[in-house]
Amino acid sequence: MRFASELEMQLAGYGLTTAHIFYRLPDFDSLLQTYLWQDYDLAPDFPQMHKFLDFWKQNLDGPLHSVRYAHKRLIGPNEWRQVSGEITLH
């Protein structure tokens, strides 16, 4: 599904997902590197994050060690309401 703006994504239930990825260097197996990834994603399945991690496994040489992630919906149901009128003073 394509969205015209980030606001439309947030209204559709997308939230900001941050993944802290630990991976090993190909030539130095004892060293861990980190990579931060952020994108709008749908909890609890996280299709965008899984798509990125699958790309990593198939195309990059550094094997994954672990992934920590956090997710926050930026617009919740109680923060959005429709305004049916507007009153202007002065």
Output the tens digit of pLDDT for each of the chain's 90 residues: 688 888 888 888 899 999 999 999 989 989 999 999 999 999 999 999 999 999 999 999 999 999 999 999 887 666 666 777 777 676
Q: Is residue 40 part of a domain?
A: yes
Q: Is residue 18 part of a domain?
A: yes
Q: Is residue 88 part of a domain?
A: no
CB 64 within 8 A of CB 53: yes
Nearest in space to 7 (alpha carbons), one of 57, 78, 84, 80: 80
The number of folded domains in the chain is 1
Q: Is residue 90 part of a domain?
A: no
Q: Is residue 85 part of a domain?
A: no
Q: Is residue 86 part of a domain?
A: no
Residue-range definition of the domain harbouring residue 13: 6-79
